[in-house]
Structure 1
Amino acid sequence: MSCLPDPTVLTQLQVENPPRYTQAQLQDYLKVIKLPQKFLDSPVLKDSSLAHTKEHGLPLLKAITRYHTCNIPFENLELHYSAHKTITLDPYELFEKIVTRRRGGRCMENNTFLGTVLRSFGYEVRDCGGRVARAMSPYPDVRKNQAYTYDGWNHMLNLAHFEDEWYIVDVGMGSMGPNLPFPLRHGFETTSIAPRKIRLQRRAIAESHASNPTKGTELWCYDVCLKPTEDGTDVWTPTYAFTETEFLPQDYEVMSWFTSTNPRSFFTRYVTCTKMIQDEEKEEIIGNLTLFKDTIRETIGNQRKVIRECKTEEERIQALAEVFDVNLTEEEKNGIPEERRLA
């Protein structure tokens, strides 16, 4: 009678030698995101102790996140265009995928990678977990009936510390992400992609059983207002909620397993890819390009239009290359299951 192999443990933290990228790797990353020379001249890149300052560290972080989201896509192609259909969260394998192969990833890939980049530059970074709001669902009935409820733990974001304050850093929420670092401060509001506004509130979510919410049941809730009004009657859409509690690699391994393998997961059902668009002179994000299933839409501000519809699998692969600079190998092209192929 054959014996089952011994079970393996989940990902373990390297306590004595945490993952860091070399200076050469960091320079390669900065080339991939096309960071302009004026930011490459930041004193942080010569003196890592300055990464903790709002004077020097915060402006560089803002530039890095902006250029990251414009040049490294939020995408789930590995779950469709590959033979193995598996996701790695190993920082060194992510470097190979994102920098060497010029690909992107979902929230846990992009934010694990960026968190490692920032620590390598000298930033103090904490990894956290979140729940995506069901208002983000692709299903109209879910958005209508469950808009103020949230999924289980299925999102990753980073917090970066500057002097006396933490800032949210999230390059893994696609077109609905903040697309800029902003302070962990109750009631904070700002414009992200004009005219869109974002806000942060500390509150109990709808599913909480607490009759009198306290800090023990409250979460940080990130909301988006797509069309602000002049009279202050803004409609805010819940986007995700998160905790300040530090999450570890083994936590994300569990979270990633569900989102990348469960047949009900958004990521296993649909092909998607997003890159942000920026106005480099104004140094701000102004919109995005998003492929969802067979259609690519361009959104500038709150104006959206279809720029390409893919009728065949060959057209979608060509669009990924031409619009998103994602060039699949022959093995990857052939890896998509028959039921997900376009005609």
Structure 2
Amino acid sequence: MTQLPKYTDKQLETYLSRISYPSSEVGASLVQSVRQNVTKNALGTLFELQRRHLASIPWGNSGLHYSQHHTISLNPATLFEKMVERRLDGYCMENTGLFHIILRSLGYVVYAIGARIGQAVGTGVENGLFSQLSHMALIVVIDEVKYMVDVGFGAYNATTPLLLKEGAITTRMAPSEMRLIKDSLVEATDKSQKFWIYQTRHNPESTWLSMICFADTELLPQDFELMNFGVSQRRASWFTQRFVCTRMILDLTGQEIIGQCSLAGKEVKRRIHGQTEVLQTIESEDDRVKALAQYFDMHLRDSEIQGIRGLASQVQ
């Protein structure tokens, strides 16, 4: 039987420090503290881990632009080195792939699923249509109850674990809300097949928009290797054409996600409580590299900075 990858306790300590996880046990290591918390309150600890991960490790695709190789590796050691030790960003299969192994290493029952992205993500208009399988999310099982957990969906990410139950509306990032529904797909032949659909809306008066849809079916690492190749190398994939970076913002108590900071195109924006502010306009590559350091704590090497030269994503 193939052994599923896990991180060592030393690696877990480094990760927990990376996400500023608070220690509650005097004299105990962070890993010991978190494992005790998982035993006492697995769901509450999962909430804490998810929001601190979202606020610490940016979602982005720098590996496809600021590198000499322009590829994405899902190797567990590579994920750890890139996002934990180097403190860089990662897109869905990197961020959620890392979180998957972290949760397993801490004792959670967790498996990965594949998801489709709604066209509404790009258009802001709900039409019920979805992409090919191109996104990774997780199912965490606690006391035989299942939750969808995601740390790799950027600006529209679910900010808490979502119980696999239809219709329950929760705050995503006030005033934005989120929910799960179950429905058939517009393009499917067999309408008896129902899929979970993660939806968000900007405020309680807005229209619900379908972000991702998924089936509760475990996928294996080799499935994500194929998905990753298509997303990261296919010419039509916008990930290969545009650079983007997003990080969530916690309130001062560390108990709630209140906003996000994003770099897309030539602007760095901060959105808190539904209000957007432009923090900086990017005029050059030097501006963008400095903005990544200032707003996202991402410090690129010279060889990585040079890697974007000649690409369509280079700031002109």
TM-score by length of 2: 0.94
Matched, 1:45 2:32: yes
> How does 1:58-207 map onto structure 2 within 5 Å?
58-137=43-122, 140=123, 143-144=124-125, 147-207=127-187
Match of 1:221 in 2: 197
Q: Secondary structure at the match of 1:153?
A: strand
**In 2, Cα distance between the equivalents of 1:189 and 1:237?**
13
**In 1, Cα distance between the equivalents of 2:50 and 2:200?**
19
CA contact (8 A) 2:9 2:31 kept: no
What are the ranges of 5 or more consecutive residues in structure 2 without an aligned counterpart? none
What are the ranges of 5 or more consecutive residues in structure 1 without an aligned counterpart? 1-14
User: In the superposition, relative to structure 1, how do residues 336 and 17 fare at CA in structure 2: closer, same or farther (>3 Å)?
Assistant: same
**In 2, Cα distance between the equivalents of 1:192 and 1:45?**
30
How big is the alpha-carbon RMSD for the aligned residues of Structure 1 and Structure 2?
2.0
User: In the superposition, relative to structure 1, how do residues 163 and 280 fare at CA in structure 2: closer, same or farther (>3 Å)?
Assistant: farther
Task: Tell me by how many angstroms 1:258 deviates.
Answer: 0.9
Q: After superposition, give the CA deviation of every residue in 1:153-196 in whole Å (9 maximum; x if it has no partner).
A: 00100111110201111000011011111211122221111111
**In 1, Cα distance between the equivalents of 2:118 and 2:25?**
35
Q: Which amino acid aligns with 2:85?
A: T
> How does 1:217-256 map onto structure 2 within 5 Å?
217-229=193-205, 234-256=206-228
CA contact (8 A) 1:43 1:56 kept: no
Match of 2:289 in 1: 317
Identity of aligned residues (%): 34
Q: Structure 2 residue aligned with 1:24, among 3, 6, 10?
A: 10
Q: After superposition, give the CA deviation of every residue in 1:185-239 in whole Å (9 maximum; x if it has no partner).
A: 12222111111110101111221223xx32xx2110000011213xxxx510110
**In 2, Cα distance between the equivalents of 1:42 and 1:285?**
26
Task: Tell me by how many angstroms 1:34 deviates.
Answer: 0.9
CA contact (8 A) 2:120 2:127 kept: yes
Q: Secondary structure at the match of 2:217?
A: coil
**In 2, Cα distance between the equivalents of 1:48 and 1:172?**
24
TM-score by length of 1: 0.87
**In 2, Cα distance between the equivalents of 1:193 and 1:176?**
10
Q: Secondary structure at the match of 1:243?
A: strand
Bigger shift: residues 184-193 or 117-126: 184-193
Aligned length: 314
Q: Secondary structure at the match of 1:86?
A: coil
Matched, 1:330 2:302: yes
**In 2, Cα distance between the equivalents of 1:87 and 1:104?**
11
Q: Secondary structure at the match of 2:228?
A: helix
**In 1, Cα distance between the equivalents of 2:167 and 2:29?**
31
**In 1, Cα distance between the equivalents of 2:279 and 2:35?**
43
**In 2, Cα distance between the equivalents of 1:200 and 1:42?**
37
Q: Secondary structure at the match of 2:169?
A: strand
Q: Which amino acid aligns with 1:279?
A: D
CA contact (8 A) 1:43 1:50 kept: no
CA contact (8 A) 1:39 1:60 kept: no
Q: Secondary structure at the match of 1:304?
A: strand
Task: Tell me by how many angstroms 1:37 deviates.
Answer: 2.4
CA contact (8 A) 2:13 2:30 kept: no
Task: Tell me by how many angstroms 1:260 deviates.
Answer: 0.4
Q: Which amino acid aligns with 1:181?
A: P
Q: Which amino acid aligns with 1:179?
A: T
**In 2, Cα distance between the equivalents of 1:319 and 1:183?**
36
Q: Which amino acid aligns with 2:315?
A: L
Task: Tell me by how many angstroms 1:244 deviates.
Answer: 0.6
User: In the superposition, relative to structure 1, how do residues 43 and 310 fare at CA in structure 2: closer, same or farther (>3 Å)?
Assistant: closer
